[in-house]
Amino acid sequence: MQKKMIWILMLAVLMSGALSGCKKPNFAVTGNGDNTMTIIAEKAPKKYFGGSGFLTVEEGQKIVIDSALNEKGEILLKFSGGPAADDEAEASDLSASVSGDDPALEVSVKGLGTSEYEIAAGDYGLYAEVISKANGTVNISVK
């Protein structure tokens, strides 16, 4: 009887340890305040999406994307916005930036690597969406 109780106790401890290691899916897009953005994907399933802040691209600068995603993971990035005509943007223009409609640049990010993209000077909002279940990070900067 005592051996049976010990086995049950050991099994309960092992199961609680295994279950506490299970993480929920996470997909976060963060503007870092220094003209960079970071995307963190942890078991992020297809159709998870997010967006945060703006990147300012000056004349002659490029958007640099440094990806460290799992082999099958894929994230679609849409940069919306562009040259600022004036300080009073229409509500429809702001809505397009947030949702990723009519992007100035659209990039599919997979695997490991660094890529540079030319884009007109201006302010760009980022909309990101998981295309294939993703784990890893994507760092976006302007250089």
pLDDT in tens, 20-44: 456 799 999 999 889 999 999 999 9
Burial class (CB in 10 A: 0-12, 13-18, 19+), 128: buried
Prediction pTM value: 0.76
What is the model's pLDDT at position 126?
94
Domains and CATH numbers, the chain: 24-142 (2.60.120)
CA-closest candidate to residue 107, choices 117, 92, 122: 117
Below-70 pLDDT ranges, the chain: 1-22, 84-100
Rounded Cα gap, residues 78 and 98, in angstroms? 10
Nearest 5 degrees, angle CA 96-CA 84-CA 130? 35
What is the pLDDT, as a whole number, of residue 20?
Answer: 47
Location of structure tokens 């229409």: 90
